[in-house]
Every structure is written in C-alpha cells, then in structure tokens.
C-alpha cells in the first residue's frame, strides 16, 4: 500500500494542481469570472469556449480576488495533498412561474408552472491523477397544468404543428404529476495528466462564447451520460493556445407525448410514435460532439473555434438495420463534412448533425468583448454550395459586453436567430433540432440541448448592470419571437399576418455575495402577445388582438460555501 501511494505522489507531480470544475448550476460564479476578465482583474486567457471552468486556470491570488479560495475546503488530506477529500458548496436553485413556463438554461428543471427546485450537495475527491466528483441533485416540480397549444386552432393547424412535434421530443408538459426525483446530477470521474482530462461524466455542458443562447450545446436540458476527453486549461504552443472537448454520449427521450396526441384531421391521426427504422420505441441515441478552440498568439484576446455534433439511434450503429449496406462507426464527427463525400446515402440520411464556427474577441484595454456563433444544421453539398447559399440551414448568435469602469456599468447585448432564412422557399432545411429520421431530434429528456428559445425562434436581449464590489443590479429587456418556422408554414395559405407569438419581457436581476453565500435573484415580467398563436375571429373587424397572457417568473440561486474552518 505504501508503494502504491508513493507511485501516486510521484505521478501527481506532473498533473494539474487543481482540476476541479465549477458546475453550470453555479452560473453567478461563472458570470463573476467573466466580468473580472473584462475588468482585467485576472490574467487567465480562457476563451469561454467551454464554460465548465476549472480552478486550474487561476493562481492563488486570482482565486482570492474571485472569492473562490474557500470554495471547497478539505475534510482531510494526505501525502501533501495528493490525496484530498473536499466538501463542495450546497446549491439550491428555485424557480416559479405564475401562468405558463419561462424555461431557460436550468439543467434538470422542466417546463413548469408553479414552484420547482434543484437541491444539490456533494464531495470532491482527488487521489493522484484520479478525480471524483459526486454531486447528486434532488429535483422537485409542482408541474401544474397550464394552457398549451391553443385548443381552438383548426384541425389542419394542429396537423401542421405535428410536422414539428413528430420530428422532435419536445412535450409542452412533462406528464401530469408532480416530479420528485433524485439524479446523479453534476457528477464525474476522470483521470488527469498535465492539462488533459479523460473520464466519464453526467455534468451539464455549455459550448461557445454565448451567454444566453448557446446554439450547439447548453445546459437547457438535464445532463446526460458521456465519455469526455478535454483540456483542463488552454494548452500553450509556439503559435498560440488550444482548448478542446470531445464527447461520446447517450441521449434519452422524455417518455411523454405532446399535447393533443389523440387528435385527428380528416380522419387521419396527426401523432406518429417516435420509433426507429425497425419500429422500436424508446431507442436511445448515440451522440458524438467536438469543440475545438484556437487563440493565436499574435492577436491578444482573440479566439476562434469549430463545433460539430452528430447523432443517430443506437440500432443504426449496432447494425440492426440489416437491409442497409455499409457500417456506421462510433466517430461520425470525423467523417465527411460535405454531402459530395457521402459513401452511403442510407446511413447519412439516418444521421442528424450540425456544425459551425464561433469566435470571441476580448479587448482588455477597452474592458469589452464581442462574440458570435454561426452554425448549420444541414450539410452542404460542397464548398461552392457553402459560398453560394451560406444562409441555408443557418442559425447564429451575436453578442457584446462593455464595462464602463468610471461608472461601474456593464452594457450587454445578445441577438439569436434560429428561424430559417428566406431561402426556405426554394430549399427547406427544416427547423433546428428536428430531423426527418431521428424523430427525437437533438434533445435529451424532452428538452433541446442547444438554444433555450427553441426551434424557429429568435431573441434579442439588452441589459445594463451596476457593478459594486459585492453586488450587481441589472435591468434588461428581452424580446422573443416564438417559432416563426411553424407560423409561416401553418398560416401561409390564409396569409394571416396577425398571429405572431411574441413575448416582451422585462428583467430585473440582483446578485450579492455575503460571507459564505452567493445569492442571485432573477425576475421576469413576461407579456405574451398572441400566446400559442391564438386569436378569436371577429365578424366585423379583421385586425383584432389575439389571446394575450401575463406571466411572472422568478429564479433564486443560492450557493453556500461551507466554512469548515469555523465549525
């Protein structure tokens, strides 16, 4: 046993000193790190391409500046800290919606009316290169009934709504009962060597520099089981630094049917069960994804990156589609990027994929940043097709932040476009996250893994934040255009331009650091115009108001760092 621990001690000299990660339930800490980078208070060159951030990116002085030096105190440790058991903060996240769900980037939480919470505590263990995080979550949701897709829409409109819902697992309400469950949450096991980590995890992920709407990978859904190979911190080279994360994952469906699944149109059922090509229901999906980011040494603060994911039903990769020739391997993201390279059309049709680029540019002297993501959910025929029809199947996010140090004010803006471009009139790409053969779409447990506003939607958000040493106060305005892809398709024949479903939201957010507690209160007043595209016709007046609804959304996030030194 003594020899074993000596080997661990020698080996651990070469590994990262602190490879703990801040989980995405603790978003106020991640925001604080980003603000301090804008202010120039930390020297770390992290690009925020992956927002699951490791403590290895900061020195001891920076951890004190970020008030993270007592984030996870040791319970006991041996061999000069090479074997270390730590207690993690207690996370308690609460949400409430008064009328209908406002549901964004909240991990295990579901679209819910009423009260719901996530309660999580855990421990972190380091034994040489082995790192174990056990961070289970208790989730409770009232899951009260609310008005979903408008009951009074004509049958043909319901049928057109199901053109999306039959291609994606996106139920409005997750069952009819309360939820009261315990999940493995933000837990992981990894082997770390220098700046690299290989392991298995159920942690939520966030890829790309976007703050409100990450198109390719976000914590909008519950975390999923995955194998990961990633950088713990940027790897420095002669030409700049690199960061990456490669995952292979298992995605599950929700087990819930959409609203009105028993309805018909002209005697035809509108709901199609989510089955694979051998008529199996509830087949899990294999998903692989890659994020690669490069920060050139010649352009300070600039990073550019590439992301791609691909998924298909497990029956395909397991060879159960016996009538198809060829094989699908477990590394689809490294295969052909353009359609002209397709070797097996049948296999490619069964694969749902997306790819694109992103960049972030931090201007340290100006205390500002700009960032963008630009992705495609359909493969191009070739490079010429990319140049000529670059808007086909695209989605993008553009954002900026600027801190005015004199007044301690932060201006933030973000614009996300998920709606198809006008080119759909000639070449329909279908809505983002839905697929013709992978009927569950790019979802996990009934929620999209990307942008929380959902398929076909757009959003604009702007806010101003007053920053003090221990607190922040923000006032923001958000506009959400709900699923214009569906709207244009459903009401194209009638030319009904009155029914846009649009939310105007006022946001007030207050964050404060107490002795051992991070507290973040986030409140939205949501004014939904033409909620669910509902509008009651008038015999005398054509342009009449639709069905408008008000919703109050509040979110309280508490992070309690346990002060063991005072116990």
Tokens of residue 233, six digits: 């911190």
Query: How is residue 49 annotated by DSSP?
Result: S
Beta bridge partners of 297: none
Length of the chain: 567
Beta bridge partners of 162: none
Query: What is the helix (H) or strand (E) element at residue 65, kind and residue range?
Result: helix 60-65
CA 435/CA 523 separation, integer angstroms = 34
A 10 A CB-CB count for 421 gives: 16
Q: Is 159 helix (H, G, I), strand (E, B) or coil?
A: helix
pLDDT of residue 345: 59
Query: What is the helix (H) or strand (E) element at residue 7, kind and residue range?
Result: helix 2-12
Which residues are CB-neighbours of 122 under 8 A, at least 6 positions away? 87, 88, 133, 134, 135, 136, 185, 186, 187
Beta bridge partners of 117: 94, 140
407 to each of 62, 160, 378, how far by Cα in Å?
Answer: 24, 51, 45
Half-sphere exposure of 551 (CA within 13 A, CB side): 25
Give the closest residue to 221 by CA, choosing from 257, 183, 260. Answer: 183
CA 477/CA 128 separation, integer angstroms = 48
Please compute Rg for the chain using Cα positions.
24
CA 416/CA 39 separation, integer angstroms = 26
Give the closest residue to 559 by CA, choosing from 34, 44, 66. Answer: 66
> What sign has the CA pseudo-torsion 103, 107, 112, 117?
negative
> What sign has the CA pseudo-torsion 227, 231, 237, 241?
positive
CA 244/CA 235 separation, integer angstroms = 9
Let me know: does 518 contact 456? Beta carbons within 8 Å: no
Query: How is residue 234 annotated by DSSP?
Result: P
Q: What are phi and psi of 285, to 5 degrees?
A: -115, 140
Profile the chain (567 residues) by mean pLDDT over runs of 10 residues: 48 56 94 94 90 92 89 86 90 98 95 97 94 97 96 94 95 96 97 94 97 96 97 94 96 94 94 90 94 95 96 90 80 74 68 94 95 90 82 93 93 97 84 94 96 96 95 97 96 92 98 93 97 88 92 97 77
Give the 3-state secondary structure of 77-118: EEHHHCEEEEECCEEEEEEEECCCCCCCCCCCCCCCCEEEEE
Which residues are CB-neighbours of 536 under 8 A, at least 6 positions away? 152, 544, 546, 547
Give the 3-state secondary structure of 197-233: EEEEECCCCCECCCCCCCCCCCCCCCCCCEEEEEECC
pLDDT of residue 299: 94
A 10 A CB-CB count for 345 gives: 11
pLDDT of residue 338: 62
- Termini Cα distance of the chain: 32
CA 216/CA 95 separation, integer angstroms = 25
Let me know: does 245 contact 290? Beta carbons within 8 Å: yes
Let me know: does 562 contact 516? Beta carbons within 8 Å: yes
Q: Classify residue 142 by burial, with Cβ atoms within 10 Å: 0-12, 13-18, 19+.
A: middle
Query: How is residue 13 annotated by DSSP?
Result: T
Query: What is the helix (H) or strand (E) element at residue 506, kind and residue range?
Result: strand 502-513
């Amino acid at each position: 046993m003594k020899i074993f621990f000596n080997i661990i001690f020698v080996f651990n000299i070469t590994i990262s000193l602190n490879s703990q990660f801040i989980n995405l339930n603790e978003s106020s800490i991640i925001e604080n790190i980003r603000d301090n980078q804008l202010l120039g208070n930390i020297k770390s060159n992290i690009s925020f391409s992956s927002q699951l951030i490791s403590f290895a990116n900061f020195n001891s002085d920076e951890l004190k500046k970020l008030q993270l030096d007592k984030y996870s105190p040791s319970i006991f440790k041996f061999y000069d800290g090479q074997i270390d058991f730590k207690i993690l903060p207690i996370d308690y996240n609460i949400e409430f919606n008064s009328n209908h769900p406002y549901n964004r980037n909240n991990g295990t939480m579901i679209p819910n009316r009423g009260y719901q919470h996530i309660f999580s505590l855990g421990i972190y263990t380091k034994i040489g290169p082995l790192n174990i995080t056990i961070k289970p979550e208790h989730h409770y949701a009232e899951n009260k009934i609310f008005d979903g897709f408008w009951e009074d829409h004509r049958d043909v409109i319901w049928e057109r709504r199901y053109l999306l819902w039959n291609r994606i697992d996106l139920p409005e309400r997750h069952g009819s009962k309360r939820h009261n469950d315990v999940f493995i949450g933000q837990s992981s096991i990894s082997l770390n060597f220098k700046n690299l980590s290989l392991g298995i995890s159920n942690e939520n992920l966030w890829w790309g520099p976007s703050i409100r709407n990450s198109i390719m990978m976000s914590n909008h859904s519950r975390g999923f089981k995955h194998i990961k190979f990633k950088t713990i911190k940027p790897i420095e080279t002669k030409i700049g630094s690199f960061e990456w994360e490669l995952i292979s994952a298992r995605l599950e469906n929700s087990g819930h049917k959409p609203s009105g699944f028993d309805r018909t149109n002209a005697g035809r059922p509108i709901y199609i069960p989510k089955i694979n090509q051998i008529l199996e229901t509830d087949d899990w999906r294999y998903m692989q994804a890659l994020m690669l980011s490069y920060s050139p040494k010649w352009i300070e603060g600039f990073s550019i990156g590439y992301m791609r994911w691909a998924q298909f039903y497990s029956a395909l990769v397991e060879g159960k589609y016996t009538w198809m020739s060829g094989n699908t391997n477990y590394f689809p993201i490294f295969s052909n990027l353009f359609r002209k390279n397709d070797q097996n059309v049948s296999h490619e049709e069964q694969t749902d994929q997306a790819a694109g680029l992103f960049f972030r540019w931090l201007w340290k002297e100006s205390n500002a940043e700009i960032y963008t993501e630009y992705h495609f959910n359909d493969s191009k025929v070739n490079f010429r097709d990319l140049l000529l029809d670059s808007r086909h199947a695209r989605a993008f996010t553009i954002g900026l932040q600027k801190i005015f140090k004199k007044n301690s004010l932060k201006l933030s803006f973000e614009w996300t476009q998920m709606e198809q471009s006008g080119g759909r009139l000639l070449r329909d790409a279908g809505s983002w996250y839905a697929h013709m053969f992978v009927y569950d779409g790019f979802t996990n447990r009934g929620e999209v893994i990307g942008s929380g506003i959902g398929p076909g939607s757009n959003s604009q958000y702007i806010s101003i934040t007053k920053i003090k040493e221990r607190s922040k106060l923000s006032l923001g305005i958000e506009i959400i255009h709900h699923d214009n892809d569906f709207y244009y398709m459903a009401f194209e024949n009638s030319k009904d331009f009155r029914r846009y479903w649009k939310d105007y939201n006022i946001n007030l957010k207050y964050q404060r650091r107490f002795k051992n507690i991070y507290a973040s209160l986030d409140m939205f007043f949501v004014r939904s115009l033409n909620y669910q595209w509902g509008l009651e016709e008038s015999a005398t007046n054509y342009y009449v108001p639709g069905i408008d609804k008000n919703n109050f959304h509040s979110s309280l996030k508490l992070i309690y760092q346990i002060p063991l030194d005072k116990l």
